Amino acid sequence: MNVKRRVAVVGAGITLFRRRLKETGKELSYLAANAALESAGMTMDDIDCVVMGTAPDAFDGIHMKADNLLDGAGATRKPYSRVYVGGGTGVFSPIGGWWHVASGLFDTCLVVAEEKMSPCIPHPQTAFRTIWDPIITRPLNPNLVWIFALEMNRYMKTYNIPKEHIAMVAVKNKGNALDHPSAQLAAKITVEDVLNSETMVWPVQRLDISPPSDGAAALVLTSEDVARKFTDAPVWIDGVGWSLDSAYWTNRDLCFPQYVAEAAKMAYKMAKITDPPKEVDFAEPYDPFTYKELHHMEGLLLAKKGEAPQLTADGVTQRDGDLPICPSGGLLGVGNPIAAAGLMKCCEMFWQLRNEAGKRQVSGAETGVAQAWGDLMQVGTVTVFRR
């Protein structure tokens, strides 16, 4: 790997996450972008190029929506591109920004992620009907939650995981989100609340799932030289990785996300991390479902196969534990405006590593890992941030 330049994060911004927001996608993009620029002490004049991360067009109901969002992202008459890997988009968007700057092509890049799921009525789930192969899968009338339930059950059965341990992820993340001002579903709940919540698609229950949401987030990336001009406390993107597995998902091992491991290995190699559980201080793995946080801890090589649930039960992943996981509150607590939720995790790393996270602060945080996941359970996107 030949990385020409180190890339810094110098600003981060986020909007409120809610089931419905009044602002258009364009307006939300503007709010997040503007907040990130303000936090960097920059204006749009300082920005060389823009990367937009936004996930399925079908939720907004605007085909090729990145073009529609362009003005709100400040990209008018600038080099602009959209990156897209389904649910993995949020963490992929700063990777897209990274290669613009690391290559030496640009000194500054504004990364914006937007999602509005509320326009799709009565429920955004209907838009997911068009994700499936039209010939061999759609005739079965699948609901997207099916595949997660199938994966979760396979994971539980293979390692004999008690549902109680998985439920603890919801308790932790919704609790962590109480300290996140943007949060949509922050709550103090118990394991019993999760286990007694409505069964949606067994073993997935109501409180195992993150909500549909509207929201936006943004980061400002710069070269090292530019970063030094604007801040004494840059955060560095020291590793990036991404990998996609076969779309023939019924032909894959549903028990271990190999594609996440491939992405993580790439990012760790770049960041010169050889012992992830020791060298990573906290992580923001993608948690649209409770079990996914555990699955992804294993994919990120932060836990051995099948052992993430026990670490959770032992309190290791609490904000004050040895390996805090989702100190932000994650998608389960803060909300899941898909691409914006992934970028929210990178914003959280920025704030944690700058010691600005307030009540959410993880003490001694020097190295963080964020990860997102999506498409037909086949994509892993990973970033390593350091202060």
Q: Which residues bind another protein (CB under 8 A)?
A: 12-23, 28, 31-32, 35, 39, 61, 118, 121-123, 125-126, 129, 134-137, 139-143, 145-146, 149-154, 157, 180-182, 198-204, 214-215, 246, 248, 250-254, 347, 351, 354, 356-358
Nearer to another protein, 12 or 170 (CB): 12
Nearer to another protein, 4 or 138 (CB): 138
Nearer to another protein, 222 or 328 (CB): 328
Q: How many CA atoms lie within 13 A of 202 on its CB side?
A: 1
The minimum distance between CB 105 and another protein, in angstroms, equals 29
The minimum distance between CB 19 and another protein, in angstroms, equals 8
The minimum distance between CB 18 and another protein, in angstroms, equals 5
Nearer to another protein, 27 or 48 (CB): 27
> What stretches of 41-139 show up as alpha helix (H) in DSSP?
57-60, 65-69, 89-102
- Position of tokens 């498409």? 375
The minimum distance between CB 22 and another protein, in angstroms, equals 4
The pair of structure tokens assigned to 127 is: 């838009």
Nearer to another protein, 99 or 159 (CB): 159
Nearer to another protein, 123 or 278 (CB): 123
Nearer to another protein, 79 or 181 (CB): 181
Nearer to another protein, 2 or 141 (CB): 141
The minimum distance between CB 123 and another protein, in angstroms, equals 5
Asked if 276 and 382 count as a contact pair (C-beta separation under 8 A), the reply is no
The pair of structure tokens assigned to 266 is: 């790439």
The pair of structure tokens assigned to 219 is: 């980061």
The pair of structure tokens assigned to 54 is: 């936004």
Nearer to another protein, 147 or 302 (CB): 147
Nearest in space to 267 (alpha carbons), one of 336, 335, 374, 346:
346
**First vs last Cα of the chain: how many Å apart?**
22
Cα 81 to Cα 11, 19, 31, 64, distances in angstroms:
20, 27, 19, 12
The minimum distance between CB 161 and another protein, in angstroms, equals 13
The minimum distance between CB 286 and another protein, in angstroms, equals 19
The minimum distance between CB 193 and another protein, in angstroms, equals 18
The minimum distance between CB 349 and another protein, in angstroms, equals 12
Nearest in space to 91 (alpha carbons), one of 317, 281, 273, 263:
263
The answer to whether the peptide bond before residue 203 is cis (omega within 30 degrees of 0) is yes
Asked if 122 and 19 count as a contact pair (C-beta separation under 8 A), the reply is no
User: How many Å apart are CA 125 and CA 146, to the nearest integer?
Assistant: 12
User: How many Å apart are CA 234 and CA 275, to the nearest integer?
Assistant: 24
* Phi-psi map region of 307: left, alpha, beta (phi>0 left; psi -120 to 50 alpha): alpha
> What stretches of 221-279 show up as alpha helix (H) in DSSP?
224-230, 258-270, 276-279
